[in-house]
Amino acid sequence: MNDEIRRLKEAFDQAEHAVFFGGAGMSTASGIPDFRGASGLYTVSEEESPEYLLSDECLAKEPERFFAYYREKILYPDAKPNPAHLALAELEKRGRLHAVITQNIDGLHQAAGSKKVLELHGSCARSYCSKCGRPVERDFIAETKGIPRCETCGGVVRPDVVLYGEFLPQQAFEEARREVEEADLLLVGGSSLTVYPASSLVTRFTRLAGRRKSRILAIVNFDETPYDCDADFLIRESVADVLPQLL
C-alpha cells in the first residue's frame, strides 16, 4: 500500500457518511469494456453511432437493429463482480459506506452484495413490456431472437435502461443528489466524469465542499477528469486494485 492509498484509507475510516460514485471503469476488470476505451463502442467503426443504435429513436423505428446491437454490445451475461465490487459490498456491510451511485447498467454491484445501489442509467438486469408494463425474467432479451415480445399482450419487451434521448429516472437521481449532499467523503472510481447530468452530482459536492472544509473528494481513475483540480486524493490506478485496500 503506497502512502496516498494509506492516507485515503485513514480518511475513509474517519468519514461518517462516505458515498461511492462509479463509472464504466468499475467493470473493465469483469470483462466489460469501457465505452470510451481502446475496444469501446466509441472507438470501433460502425455504420451508425452508438448514440443512434442505443437510442429511443432506433428502438421505435428499427427495433430489430436495436436489439441485435444491444445483445451483441451491451449484454455480458457471464460477467462476474470483480474485487472492486466485492470491496464496496464489504465496506457497506461493515457500516463504512453509506451508498453506491453508479452510471453502469450491468447489475454487478448487486451481484457482489451491495444493498443500497442508486442506478442513474437503469439496469440491463431488468426488462419490462413497453405496452402493459409487465416485468419479465432477467435473461428474457438475451435468450430470445429478433424483437422480444411480451407473452401476455404481445408488446415489445425493452430493457429497463436509459437510452439516448431519454431522461434519467427522477427518483434515483434525487436520492443520489441527497446522498451526495449529506456525504462528507465522495469516492469516485472508474469514471471520466464527463457524462451529464450524472457528473453534475460531483459538481454539487465540490460546491458544497467549498463551504464545508471537512468534505473530501477522492478520485481513483486512470485518466484525467474535469474534477482533478478539486480532488483531495487523486490516484491513477485500477479501482480493482485500490478499493480492496480500503478494507
Same domain, 18 and 95: yes
Computed over every residue of the chain, the mean pLDDT equals 93
Is 187 inside any structural domain?
Answer: yes
Same domain, 133 and 203: no
For residue 48, pLDDT over 80 is answered with: no
Looking at residue 176, its pLDDT comes to 98
Is 37 inside any structural domain?
Answer: no
Range of the domain at 148: 50-75+129-161
Is 219 inside any structural domain?
Answer: yes
| Alpha carbons 80 and 86: distance in angstroms, whole number | 10
Same domain, 98 and 9: yes
| Alpha carbons 63 and 150: distance in angstroms, whole number | 14
Same domain, 181 and 237: yes
Q: What are phi and psi for residue 150, nearest 5 degrees? A: -65, 130
Is 40 inside any structural domain?
Answer: no
Q: Which three cell numbers stand for residue 57?
A: 429513436
Is 237 inside any structural domain?
Answer: yes
| Alpha carbons 212 and 71: distance in angstroms, whole number | 46
For residue 42, pLDDT over 80 is answered with: no
Looking at residue 209, its pLDDT comes to 81
What is the mean pLDDT of the segment spanning 77-106? 97
Residue 1 — very low, low, confident or very high, per pLDDT cuts 50/70/90? confident
Is 193 inside any structural domain?
Answer: yes
Is 45 inside any structural domain?
Answer: no
For residue 150, pLDDT over 80 is answered with: yes
> How many distinct structural domains can be found in the chain?
2
Same domain, 58 and 172: no
For residue 235, pLDDT over 70 is answered with: yes
Looking at residue 236, its pLDDT comes to 97
Task: Tell me which residues are annotated as active site.
Answer: 121
Residue 211 — very low, low, confident or very high, per pLDDT cuts 50/70/90? low
Same domain, 140 and 205: no
Torsion of CA 158, 164, 170, 174, to 10 degrees: 130
Same domain, 110 and 147: no
Q: What is the CATH number of the domain that holds 144?
A: 3.30.1600.10
Residue that finishes a domain, picked among 161, 182, 215 = 161
Indicate the SS3 state at residue 80: coil
Q: What is the pTM for the complete model shown?
A: 0.93
Q: What is the CATH number of the domain that holds 184?
A: 3.40.50.1220
| β-pair partners for 235 | 220
| Alpha carbons 200 and 47: distance in angstroms, whole number | 32
What is the mean pLDDT of the segment spanning 178-203? 96
Same domain, 104 and 192: yes
pLDDT tens digits, 92-143: 999 999 999 999 999 999 999 999 999 999 999 999 999 999 999 989 999 9
Same domain, 117 and 134: no
| β-pair partners for 158 | 128
pLDDT tens digits, 57-70: 999 999 999 999 99
Same domain, 23 and 90: yes
Q: Which three cell numbers stand for residue 31?
A: 470483462
pLDDT tens digits, 12-36: 999 999 999 999 999 999 999 986 5
Nearest to residue 159, comparing CAs of 116, 208, 105? 105
Q: Which three cell numbers stand for residue 217?
A: 473528494
| Distance between start and end Cα atoms, the chain | 12
Place of cell 454539487: 204
Looking at residue 40, its pLDDT comes to 53
Same domain, 214 and 180: yes
Same domain, 14 and 95: yes
What is the mean pLDDT of the segment spanning 215-235? 97
